[in-house]
Chain A
Amino acid sequence: MAGPIQNILVYVDGSEESITAAEYGVCLAKSTGASLSALYVVNTRALNDLVKSRIFIASEEQEYQQDLENDADKYLNHVKDLAHKKGQTIEVFQKNGAIHTEIKHTIEELDADLLIIGELSKLQSRRDEFYNEVERAMRSVPCSVLIAKDEDLVWSLYESLA
């Protein structure tokens, strides 16, 4: 019988926490035989909102979108390297849109059965809970969600992989 985890998606946003999530994803994929994918979302929804609210001018929107696309390449390549160093295959995806929506869509497209995210920042007010995009994704995705914590422990698990 196949195990409970067949298809893992890791959400990567360039934060240290999300890189820890990617390392944990590699460990879990290696130990379960599950397939592994990583997603970076270029938050064009936020960019559009900043233009609509007149905080950004059009040239800033283009400049920042380019910056975010460069970040996507950089971090997805880093995650690919992390997987390949341990002999784990990985598929990476860059999508544009709203973070929580794109995470949900990608899970549905890939039929992923586990989403791994990095540790969420500490809530300091009720507003934080309301505004956190990854937390929204965590609540709305149809699959189980794993939050990778303890950067040092995860790193040593990753390092100990053959």
Chain B
Amino acid sequence: MSILELVTEDCIKVPLESKRKNDLIREMVAVLEGAGKINDSEAIYQAIRTREDQGSTGLGEGIAIPHAKVEGVSELTMAIGISPDGIDFESLDGQDAKVFFMILAPPDKAGQHIQALSEVAKITRSAAFMRALLHSQNPAEVLELFQE
């Protein structure tokens, strides 16, 4: 599975406008709703919040991967957002998060969900890639980076 199979320009927002964690989650959920990928945005927001309450998905080094297994999506879905100034996402290293990958999967797609999360995890290990991603100015530039 390629991340490019999951993400289109309308699922990417650069820059994100929110300054607080909950607002940012809502903003990214709204991106997916605007792209026609989800229906019940409130249920999806709550599912992500519930997961965040169990432990932040702010991994550190400016990266966060909020995710949830939810009924409100028919297929694996991903949004990417970049907040150049960063926001407090309660990350483990205490640093602000700047790059966000939101991944939602229906309950019966566990295999694909794990595959997508693994691929994002591998990508985020490349400091050079993450630097380039952080400096993207618009969704098209983000997609270009994934195509390289």
Contact = CB atoms under 8 A, between A and B. Distances in A.
A24 B136 CA distance: 45
B110 A50 contact: no
Interface in A60-100: 64, 67-68, 71
Interface residues of A, number: 26
Contacts of B120: 55
B2 A43 contact: no
A14 B111 contact: yes
A13 interface: yes
Contacts of A160: none
A127 B148 CA distance: 8
Interface string A110-134: 0000000000011111111001000
Contact of A123 (B2, B111, B115): B2
B2 A50 contact: no
Interface of B is mostly: helix
A59 interface: yes
Contacts of B4: 124-125, 128
B121 A49 contact: yes
A55 B117 contact: yes
Contacts of A126: 148
B110 A55 contact: no
A59 B69 CA distance: 13
Nearest to A99: B115
Nearest to A41: B111
Nearest to B55: A57
A75 B30 CA distance: 35
Contacts of B148: 125-127
B147 A125 contact: yes
A54 B113 contact: no
A71 B65 CA distance: 25
A13 B109 CA distance: 11
A55 B66 CA distance: 9
Nearest to A66: B110
A86 B127 CA distance: 53
Interface of A: 13-14, 43, 46-47, 49-50, 53-57, 59, 64, 67-68, 71, 121-128, 131
Interface of B: 1-2, 4-5, 54-55, 57, 59-60, 65, 67, 92, 107, 110-111, 113-115, 117-123, 146-148
23 contacts: A43-B115, A50-B117, A53-B121, A54-B59, A54-B60, A55-B59, A55-B65, A55-B67, A56-B117, A57-B54, A64-B110, A64-B113, A64-B114, A67-B110, A121-B1, A123-B2, A124-B5, A125-B2, A125-B4, A125-B146, A126-B148, A128-B4, A131-B119
